[in-house]
Amino acid sequence: MSYVEMSGAKVPIRMWADPATVEEGALQQLRNVATLPWIKGLAVMPDVHYGKGATVGSVIAMRGAVCPAAVGVDIGCGMSAVKTSLTANDLPGDLSRLRSKIEQAIPVGRGMHDDPVDPGRLHGFGTAGWDDFWGRFDGIAEAVKFRQERAGKQMGTLGSGNHFVEVCLDSTGSLWLMLHSGSRNIGKELAEHHIGIAQKLPHNQGLVDRDLAVFIADTPQMAAYRNDLFWAQEYAKYNRSIMMALLKDVIRKEFKKAKPVFEQEISCHHNYVAEERYDGMDLLVTRKGAIRAGSGDYGIIPGSMGTGSYIVKGLGNEKSFNSASHGAGRRMSRNAAKRRFSTKDLEEQTRGVECRKDSGVVDEIPAAYKPIEQVIDQQRDLVQVVAKLKQVVCVKG
């Protein structure tokens, strides 16, 4: 489908979704965003759903301003994937050992490494810029400086919620590695710290929703936020790179005889800010639950833990600000999913996948998400499908 255009106070709302299927709370959030004085454009992805302040699945372009809640609290959250030389024929009949080895190598949930990972010991990991990155920690908000030790130990860890590590097969039987995570607790604390500051600024007092508070260009508050934001985005990217290196090491050891080779990694943020130019204007584009899909950009659009995912290539559609969806998108809240489904339902819907099937992950059941094929179909003018993946192992936080 192409987009549907709804009227908004300052800009039209371009939706790559059927407005009739979007909950009223999310529609109201979109209308609220369209009232912001600094807004220059708003694009809505097919996985759109209610979020804090701004919907998940929205791309907001503003001039001289940025809204921290339109980035999300998990700054830099995103995906990484890599194709391997292994195939379905290399897999053992029982995948439980492989899942266990991955969970041993990559801490999940609230877990962290006993000591910070030394990237110099990771096979093929590029350490250029590593010391400079950590050196810049001294320049971030004083309120979170005491978290440095924890941030070091959480680097290379998965977290919880909808974060995951997967071993997948594509339609040709090739084996892929894929993971989803962000900036862990340090990104969340930085986001919440700056949202609190923004909400107290005088220019935000008349907004329709205090969660849409913005920072304005050429102010000390904006400079401080941008510094911490870009640092956290880098943290998230490093976090995924280290996890992928740890995951590759597991694969090398478990499939030693096959001597696995790995192709170039695909990596994309889906909660972040980028400086981009449209219609002759330099804009700050926030993608909250959306990936960049410029012409030729590779991206990853995952489904749920039992359905599969897509590797895509962007078509460079400027109407969407060169963006596409970040996943299937939830169609019910976590609490609603827990009320509605049981562990038996989870077992049924994840049959054939080596994964947790206990009550702790019922809120991640496939039925809590929109059908991924439908979401892909709604953005055929945004991305081209390169490969469809189906997970055989899924590690959840």
Angle at Cα 311 formed by Cα 164 and Cα 323, nearest 5°?
Answer: 95
Count Cβ atoms below 10 Å from residue 131 Cβ, excluding itself: 9
Q: In 3-state terms, what secondary structure has residue 188?
A: helix
Q: How far apart are CA 223 and CA 226, in angstroms?
A: 5
- What are φ and ψ of residue 68, in 5° steps? -60, -35
Q: What letter would DSSP give residue 80?
A: E
Compute CA 320 distance to the chain's CA centroid, rounded to the nearest angstrom: 18
- Select from 275, 289, 366, 355 the least CA-distant residue to 324: 289
- What are φ and ψ of residue 61, in 5° steps? -105, 120
The token pair that represents 362 in the structure block: 């019922």
Pairing mode, if any, of strands 215-216 and 266-269?
unpaired
Q: In 3-state terms, what secondary structure has residue 49?
A: strand
Helices (H), the chain: 24-33, 96-105, 130-135, 148-154, 184-200, 220-254, 334-340, 343-349, 372-377
Active-site residue set? 326
Q: How far apart are CA 281 and CA 227, in angstroms?
A: 22
Q: In 3-state terms, what secondary structure has residue 262?
A: strand
- Select from 112, 236, 253 the least CA-distant residue to 179: 236
String of DSSP letters for 304-357: -TTT-EEEEEE---GGGTSEEESSS-BSS-HHHHHHH--HHHHHHHTTT-EE--
- Select from 68, 59, 64 the least CA-distant residue to 34: 59
Count Cβ atoms below 10 Å from residue 285 Cβ, excluding itself: 25
Tokens 């205090």 label which residue? 210
